Amino acid sequence: MRLLLVEDDRMIGDSLRNALRQAGFAVDLVRDGRAAESTLASERFDLVLLDLGLPQRDGMDVLRATRARGDRTPVIVLTARDTLTARVRGLDAGADDYIVKPFELDELLARIRAVVRRQAGRAETTLAVGEVTLDTATRQVTLAGAPVALSAREYAVLEALMLRPGAILSRAQLEDRLYGWGEELESNAITVYVHQLRRKLGERFIHTVRGVGYYVGVPGAGSA
């Protein structure tokens, strides 16, 4: 999953980015409100972690402008403004959840999973397509009930496909979910991960649409 982290405090921003990468997310970090707005207008993320007290433009203004454009990307507000009024304003402005600094990483990770599940309209943490199941909380994958060991990047590709069974994801869309800015990208990386996944999950689990992309499940069942 690809996250945008908006945080002007250098120490919090850097350490949170590293911790989230360790947890398996592709993370891009911007440090002011204007950069957040232009990034959100031009790139697609699965979730935004948004500080409110930001230079250039307040986080609340960024959030309102994003929603006004019709962008429904889930947003979790990260802030030190722990007053009822601030929480209510944030939620009214279109935030999906709210976490007050300082917080524990485990709590943030649980909230990220909950928001992504709600966005996908699912209450369960387990995705199932054919004989393959994937638990987004424990990152456990099984084939016909037997655990399958995947690398972090193989998992990320599989999760992206299984979150939308039937939808065709292009190589570029899959790359977006794997890499944050500044990370080295091998041109054939997605081909390699798909090949590994097929080796572990069966040749027929991931389908190729030549020149378009990949999907799992029944074609056209999901929405792109």
Q: Which residues bind Ca ion (CB under 5 A)?
A: 8, 51, 53
**Residue 36 or 150: which CB sits closer to Ca ion?**
36
In the structure encoding, which two tokens stand for residue 131, read together? 């004989």
**Residue 13 or 74: which CB sits closer to Ca ion?**
13
DSSP 214: E
**Residue 7 or 28: which CB sits closer to Ca ion?**
7
Buried b (16+ CB within 10 A) or exposed e, 9-36: eeeebeebbeebeebebbbbbbbbbebb
| Residue 6 beta carbon to Ca ion: minimum distance, rounded to whole angstroms | 9
The three-point CA angle 194-4-123 to 5° equals 70
| Residue 36 beta carbon to Ca ion: minimum distance, rounded to whole angstroms | 12
Tell the burial category of 182 from Cβ atoms under 10 Å away from its Cβ (0-12, 13-18, 19+): exposed
Tell the burial category of 194 from Cβ atoms under 10 Å away from its Cβ (0-12, 13-18, 19+): buried
- CB count, 10 Å around CB of 39? 16
**Residue 53 or 165: which CB sits closer to Ca ion?**
53
| Residue 12 beta carbon to Ca ion: minimum distance, rounded to whole angstroms | 8
Which residue sits closest to Ca ion, CB atoms considered? 53
**Residue 53 or 202: which CB sits closer to Ca ion?**
53
Q: Is there a contact between 6 and 52 (Cβ–Cβ < 8 Å)?
A: no
| Residue 102 beta carbon to Ca ion: minimum distance, rounded to whole angstroms | 13
| Residue 137 beta carbon to Ca ion: minimum distance, rounded to whole angstroms | 29
